[in-house]
C-alpha cells in the first residue's frame, strides 16, 4: 500500500503569512498598472507628437511637387527659355537587389559604367540615391519596363533654350535643381522659380506610394519674363560677329545693339559662346559675357566727348582750325603722334580723320575737372544700372590726380577703361538730344528720360562729325549701309603687354566701332569689338566697321524703319544691238 502523506501537516503550509506582505504585493502590482496607464496616457494623449512623427517616418513620405519655372520670352513673345517635363531615375539601395545581368542592363540604359552604378547602389544612404537626372525619355521608358525592384522614376522639369549659342550670354542657364546659375536665369531666379507644392503618401517597403494621406499643396508656376531682346536681331548679330572673329582670326568678339529711343537692348552677343543645354567641359572663355565684364581703354571712341565738351562750352566751333603740324605734340616731355601728319584741320576734320594731336590741343584748353564731369556723366567709371549680374564699372580716376599728359591721353581714350556695353550706352548722349539714358534688358516701349550731358544742338553737331568719320575720307567708310545714313567712330586700342603696350613684334590690339543710324533721327546704336585680330588687319574701321554695317541694315529692316537715303542700283543694264 502506498503511504498516505498529510500535506496539511507541513510546517511551511501551516505557518501564517504576515498580512503586510500580501498587501505589499497587491499594492506593487496595482502601482505597476497605474504607472503603465500613466505612461500610456502620456504617450498617446499628452506628448504624442514625437512618437507619431517617428511612426510616420517609417511609412510616410512627403513628396515635393516641382513648380514649372517661368518662361523667358523675347520682345515679340518668342521663347528664349522654357521648361519641359523630364524623367529622373532614383534607387532605394536597401531594397534594390540586382543581379549582375540586371545591373549591366540598367547601367547601359543609364549611360554610365557598371562600376559607377554599383558604387551608387552601395552608398551609405540606403533610403534614396539619384542614378540619373533628366534623362532621355525613351531610355526612361525602357528602364520602367524592366520593373527592377528598388528602382523608380520621378518627373522633374528640364530647361530648354531654343536660341542656343546665339542668346546664351543673355539668358544664361539653370542647374539640375532648376536654379539659375548665369545671366537672366540667375538674376531673376526668384521671379522665374515659382513655389513647389507637396503631397504626403504612405509607401511600402519597396518605396512605392500605395496611399495618399492628408491634403496636397499644389505647386505655383513661376512668372514669365519678357526681355527687350529681338530674336531675329540677336541671331543675325551673333552670326555676323562669329564670322568676323573667325575670318579675322581674333581671340574673341562682342556686339551690342541698343534702341536709341528707349534704351532697350535689342541684341547682346559674344563669341566664343556655348550651348546652354550642353555644358560639358565649358571654359571660362566661353562663359564670360565680355560685352559687360571685359574692360579696356576705349581709344578714339572717346574723342567725340572731348570735342562735344569744347563745343558745349564755346571754346571751339565746328569750323575752328586746329594746326596739327608736324603730326605730333609734346606734353611734359611725352610725345603724342598721329598715324600720319594732317596739317591744319577744322574741328570736324579732327573727328573725321581721328587726329590724336588735334584732340589733345583742344583738350588742353579745358580744365581736367570739366572733362572728368563729362566722362562721368556719360557713364564712364560707373557700374551700368542694367538687369544683369557681373556688369563692371570700368575705371575713371578722379580729375585731381590727372597730370597734364594724363589729361591729354584721356582726351583720346587712354588712361581710362570701359566695357563695350558702357561705350554703346554713352553714345545715347549723341542720339538722344544730349541725354544719356538708362539701358535695359527688359521690354520697355516707353521713350526714356535721361541725364543731360550736352545740349541738343551740340549732340546734332557731333552726329554730323560722326557721319563724316563713317563716310568717304573718314576712318570708317566700311560702316556705310545701303539705304541708311550712319555715323560712328572707330577705335583701335593697344592691349597692355606686361607693364607696357609691347613693341612692333608682339603688339596686340582691340578693335571696335560704335555708331548709330539713321543719323538725323537715330533709332539704334551698335557697338562691335574684336579682341586681338590676327589676320593682318587690326584697325577698327577695317575689321569692326563691316560687322556694324551688316547689323545696322538687318536691325533697321526688322524694325520697319524706312531707308533715308537713295539706294544705288546694283544691276547695270547694257544695250545690245541686234541685227536683222
- Out of 207, 226, 245, pick the residue that ends a domain: 226
Contact between 540 and 511 under an 8 Å Cβ cutoff? The reply is yes
Where the chain has pLDDT below 70, the residues are 1-15, 17, 53-64, 124-127, 201-214, 496-506, 567-580
pLDDT tens-digit series, residues 62-116: 666 778 899 999 999 999 999 988 888 888 887 777 888 888 888 888 888 988 8
212 and 291 inside one domain: no
313 and 446 inside one domain: yes
CA distance between the termini of the chain: 167
Number of domain units in the chain: 2
pLDDT tens-digit series, residues 179-226: 999 999 999 999 998 887 777 766 665 555 555 666 777 888 899 999
- Give the SS3 label for residue 494: strand
Query: Would you say residue 508 lies in a domain?
Result: yes
Assign residue 167 the CATH number of its domain. 3.90.1310.10
Q: What is the rounded CA–CA span in Å between residue 202 and residue 213?
A: 7
398 and 279 inside one domain: yes
393 and 539 inside one domain: yes
- Give the SS3 label for residue 41: helix
Confidence (pLDDT) at 63: 66
DSSP letter assigned to residue 42: I
In sequence order, the β-bridge partners of residue 487 are 516
243 and 201 inside one domain: no
279 and 218 inside one domain: no
Q: What is the rounded CA–CA span in Å between residue 169 and residue 388?
A: 10
Q: How many angstroms from the chain centroid is the CA of residue 469? A: 33
Residues spanned by the domain of 315: 231-558
Assign residue 286 the CATH number of its domain. 3.40.710.10
Confidence (pLDDT) at 386: 87
Query: Would you say residue 577 lies in a domain?
Result: no
- Out of 202, 226, 250, pick the residue that ends a domain: 226
210 and 238 inside one domain: no
C-alpha to C-alpha distances, 525 to 219, 297, 427, nearest whole angstrom:
43, 20, 7
- This prediction has a pTM of 0.82
Query: Would you say residue 11 lies in a domain?
Result: no
Q: What is the rounded CA–CA span in Å between residue 290 and residue 374?
A: 25
Query: Would you say residue 8 lies in a domain?
Result: no
Query: Would you say residue 541 lies in a domain?
Result: yes
273 and 391 inside one domain: yes
Query: Would you say residue 137 lies in a domain?
Result: no
Is 273 noted as a catalytic residue in this protein? no
Confidence (pLDDT) at 502: 57
442 and 498 inside one domain: yes
Query: Would you say residue 496 lies in a domain?
Result: yes
Query: Would you say residue 311 lies in a domain?
Result: yes
- Out of 179, 198, 226, pick the residue that ends a domain: 226
pLDDT tens-digit series, residues 463-518: 999 999 999 999 999 999 999 999 999 988 877 665 666 565 567 889 999 999 99
Give the other-Cβ count within 10 Å of 281's Cβ: 7
254 and 271 inside one domain: yes
Active-site residue identified among 300, 411, 431, 511: 300
- The torsion of the CA quartet 554, 291, 464, 264, rounded to 10 degrees, works out to 60
Per the listing, cell 513647389 goes with 196
194 and 283 inside one domain: no
165 and 201 inside one domain: yes
Amino acid at each position: 500500500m502506498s503511504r498516505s502523506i498529510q500535506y496539511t501537516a507541513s510546517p511551511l503550509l501551516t505557518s501564517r503569512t504576515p498580512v503586510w506582505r500580501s498587501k505589499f504585493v497587491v499594492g506593487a502590482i496595482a502601482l505597476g498598472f497605474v504607472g503603465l496607464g500613466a505612461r500610456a496616457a502620456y504617450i498617446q494623449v499628452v506628448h504624442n507628437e514625437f512618437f507619431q512623427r517617428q511612426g510616420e517616418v517609417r511609412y510616410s513620405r512627403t513628396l515635393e511637387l516641382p513648380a514649372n519655372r517661368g518662361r523667358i520670352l523675347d520682345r515679340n513673345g518668342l521663347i528664349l527659355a522654357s521648361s519641359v517635363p523630364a524623367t529622373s531615375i532614383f534607387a532605394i539601395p536597401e531594397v534594390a537587389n540586382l543581379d549582375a545581368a540586371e545591373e549591366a542592363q540598367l547601367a547601359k540604359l543609364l549611360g554610365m559604367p557598371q562600376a559607377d552604378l554599383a558604387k551608387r547602389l552601395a552608398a551609405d544612404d540606403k533610403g534614396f540615391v539619384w542614378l540619373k537626372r533628366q534623362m532621355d525619355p525613351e531610355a526612361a521608358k525602357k528602364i520602367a519596363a524592366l520593373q527592377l525592384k528598388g528602382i523608380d522614376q520621378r518627373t522633374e522639369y528640364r530647361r530648354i533654350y531654343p536660341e542656343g549659342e546665339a542668346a546664351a550670354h543673355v539668358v544664361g542657364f539653370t542647374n539640375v535643381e532648376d536654379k539659375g546659375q548665369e545671366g537672366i536665369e540667375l538674376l531673376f531666379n526668384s521671379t522665374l522659380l515659382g513655389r513647389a507644392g507637396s503631397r504626403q503618401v504612405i509607401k511600402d517597403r519597396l518605396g512605392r506610394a500605395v496611399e495618399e494621406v492628408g491634403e496636397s499643396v499644389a505647386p505655383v508656376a513661376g512668372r514669365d519674363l519678357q526681355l527687350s531682346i529681338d530674336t531675329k536681331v540677336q541671331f543675325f548679330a551673333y552670326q555676323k560677329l562669329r564670322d568676323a572673329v573667325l575670318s579675322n582670326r581674333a581671340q574673341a568678339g562682342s556686339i551690342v545693339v541698343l534702341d536709341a529711343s528707349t534704351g532697350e537692348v535689342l541684341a547682346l552677343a559674344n563669341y566664343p559662346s556655348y550651348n546652354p543645354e550642353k555644358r560639358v567641359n565649358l571654359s571660362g572663355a566661353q562663359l564670360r559675357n565680355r560685352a559687360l565684364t571685359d574692360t579696356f581703354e576705349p581709344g578714339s571712341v572717346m574723342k567725340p566727348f572731348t570735342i562735344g565738351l569744347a563745343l558745349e562750352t564755346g571754346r571751339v566751333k565746328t569750323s575752328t582750325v586746329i594746326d596739327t603740324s608736324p603730326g605730333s605734340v609734346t606734353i611734359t616731355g611725352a610725345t603724342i603722334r598721329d598715324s600720319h601728319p594732317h596739317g591744319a584741320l577744322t574741328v570736324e576734320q579732327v573727328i573725321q580723320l581721328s587726329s590724336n594731336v588735334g584732340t589733345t590741343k583742344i583738350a588742353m584748353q579745358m580744365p581736367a575737372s570739366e572733362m572728368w564731369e563729362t566722362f562721368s556723366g556719360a557713364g564712364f567709371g560707373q557700374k551700368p544700372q542694367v538687369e544683369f549680374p557681373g556688369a563692371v564699372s570700368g575705371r575713371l580716376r578722379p580729375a585731381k590726380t590727372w597730370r597734364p599728359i594724363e589729361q591729354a591721353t584721356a582726351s583720346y581714350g587712354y588712361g581710362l577703361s570701359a566695357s563695350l556695353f558702357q561705350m554703346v550706352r554713352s553714345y545715347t548722349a549723341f542720339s538722344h538730344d544730349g541725354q544719356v539714358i538708362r539701358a535695359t534688358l527688359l521690354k520697355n516701349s516707353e521713350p526714356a528720360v535721361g541725364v543731360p550731358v550736352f545740349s541738343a544742338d551740340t549732340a546734332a553737331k557731333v552726329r554730323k562729325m560722326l557721319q563724316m568719320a563713317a563716310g568717304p575720307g573718314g576712318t570708317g567708310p566700311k560702316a556705310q549701309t545701303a539705304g541708311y545714313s550712319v555715323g560712328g567712330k572707330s577705335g583701335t586700342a593697344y592691349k597692355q603687354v606686361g607693364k607696357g603696350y609691347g613693341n612692333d613684334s608682339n603688339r596686340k590690339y582691340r578693335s571696335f566701332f560704335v555708331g548709330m543710324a539713321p543719323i538725323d533721327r537715330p533709332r539704334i546704336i551698335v557697338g562691335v569689338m574684336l579682341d586681338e585680330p590676327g589676320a593682318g588687319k587690326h584697325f577698327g574701321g577695317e575689321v569692326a566697321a563691316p560687322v556694324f554695317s551688316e547689323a545696322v541694315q538687318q536691325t533697321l529692316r526688322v524694325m520697319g524703319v524706312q531707308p533715308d537715303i537713295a539706294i544705288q542700283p546694283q544691276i547695270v543694264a547694257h544695250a545690245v544691238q541686234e541685227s536683222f
